């Protein structure tokens, strides 16, 4: 049977169901290690800049009183603050996971990863000797997944270990 289960968690309904299923395994089997993983997606951390915009300062088009549009420099973005906001959001997601685990009396490690969601989870599974990944059937980006493929689909296709998709 499984020794180490990773749960893909983004605080969506699907990931809460996955966490609940993992708790059921942990309560029934007792000797299982659980790891809850949340991934800060690359697109959230650093959006790529099109080649034609490299080295060009960004501007915001602002309509003038004369009817013409004028380019205005945007306020400076404090990059560390933006990244701190993303990290704080991830911590909030993991705190909610811990609350759900505590309510069921289940212990688990929590990990915040960076990068592409499915790739990061698969790498974590390989590096941490995970033998099963549990994920929800849809996460927070369900609409986006219609166009680029879902995380659960990518995990099933590319992971070296069993993947349980919870509906």
Count: domains in the chain = 1
Among 1-10, 26-35, 57-66, 149-158, which is the least confidently predicted range?
Answer: 57-66
State residue 52's pLDDT score.
61
Task: Please report whether residue 102 resides in a domain.
Answer: yes
Task: Please report whether residue 27 resides in a domain.
Answer: yes
Task: Please report whether residue 53 resides in a domain.
Answer: no
In this structure, are residues 156 and 163 in contact, taking their beta carbons and an 8 Å threshold?
yes
State residue 45's pLDDT score.
43
- Paired tokens of 51: 């080649």
State residue 150's pLDDT score.
85
Q: Is the pLDDT of residue 143 over 80?
A: no
Question: Among 82, 90, 130, 86, which residue's Cα sits nearest to residue 108?
Answer: 130
Q: Is the pLDDT of residue 104 over 50?
A: yes
State residue 66's pLDDT score.
80
State residue 145's pLDDT score.
47
Question: Among 113, 150, 106, which residue's Cα sits nearest to residue 128?
Answer: 113
- What does pLDDT average to over the chain? 83
CATH of the domain at 128: 3.40.50.620
Task: Please report whether residue 52 resides in a domain.
Answer: no
- Per the structure, the complete domain to which residue 69 belongs is given by 4-47+58-166
**pTM of model > 0.85:** no
Confidence label for 56 from pLDDT (cuts 50, 70 and 90):
low
């Amino acid at each position: 049977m499984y020794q180490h289960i990773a749960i893909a968690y983004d605080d969506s309904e699907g990931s809460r169901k996955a966490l609940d299923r993992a708790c059921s395994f942990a309560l029934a089997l007792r000797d299982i290690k659980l790891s809850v993983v949340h991934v800060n997606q690359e697109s959230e951390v650093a959006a790529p800049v099109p080649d034609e915009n490299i080295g060009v300062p960004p501007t915001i088009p602002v309509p003038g009183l004369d009817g013409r549009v004028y380019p205005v420099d945007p306020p400076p973005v404090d990059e560390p603050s933006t990244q701190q906001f993303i990290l704080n959001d991830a911590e909030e997601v993991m705190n909610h996971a811990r609350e759900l685990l505590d309510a069921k009396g289940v212990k688990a490690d929590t990990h915040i990863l960076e990068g592409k969601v499915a790739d990061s989870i698969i790498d974590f599974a390989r590096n941490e000797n995970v033998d099963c990944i549990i994920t929800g059937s849809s996460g927070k980006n369900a609409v986006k997944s219609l166009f680029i493929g879902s995380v659960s689909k990518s995990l099933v296709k590319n992971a070296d270990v069993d993947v349980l998709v919870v509906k």
